[in-house]
Structure 1
């Protein structure tokens, strides 16, 4: 057990927040599972104080649910939440992309090209049965989507986009372990990259459609139909 002092608590709380978020997003802590301090302390080798602070932070971010006397738990995977996150992304991320296309320069373009290349490389060695590969693919996928909007001059908007992206990741990982048309996925990202680099006026709408397509794939995997609204 790590010894906790007043001066070290903020650093430990940040580490606990990061590790908990990673395990919630990645499925290491399954949807709807209880988050008991004793279990978390044994899992992470941290004391109760930084873990409580981490859980409070994650509850504020929407990654953890607090239910009165029941304590903390991982939010369940639900259709309503998936559509909420998806539609929120479809509102804010295309706007961040518009700003990025207006402000972006050579280094922004270079990162889009580089991140697409890394994503392409990861897709060519797809191994959905490997949790290690899914983690690697997710890292490449996240880097690409971050790169698209990185030149947006509003840091708060970028942080919000990133939070929504991570919320969506819990759902996307459901279909990454299933049989996927990886060539189609690569083609979709290549097309999006080309539209953005060309500063196409259609690129924001293309991004919104891309975000929506993922939600439709998840709902199909879960045997549900998307809302017509």
Structure 2
């Protein structure tokens, strides 16, 4: 009888350990491997998020209000300050880095006809135009080859608030090689050895009241 007690103790502790493991799993949860984040080149996902992230502290708000009062009306500085007042997480440097990354992603995805990559980065009307161009190219059995050799500049040229929507316009200057080939692989437009200096003016927008941190490409143009 005495020899059986340690065995009963082992069973008891095993049951306690199993109970604790089940409790931890119910509290912490498990990843299934199917979770996916939307591409967001503009802001890295923080390890922990809180509702206070978009709240501007009173001293900082007073400072921004003073900067806005001294900035020329309609200037880039005034627009950026208005955005900072509406979105306490907005940082120019972070935005500029994200805009550069987004430019490279979008240019390459358009050339590759990669609609899945384009979808979360473009506003609906811009996405429709890009998809229309891709579909027309595929209907002609043509392929576009784009080599982005360098991105020399990404300068913010306009910034403004329209209600709760922030809009920032960036002028990109890049060096590219662009070729269009027909179904037989022959070059029908462009030069394999020709390097173009390309200027693109893109406008990004984001609703500052939204929990979605993504900025969407909402307009594209070239210098007039």
Give me the TM-score of the superposition, normalised by structure 2: 0.26
Greater Rg over alpha carbons, structure: 2
The structure that is strand-richer by fraction is: 2
More helix by share: 1
TM-score, with length taken from structure 1: 0.25
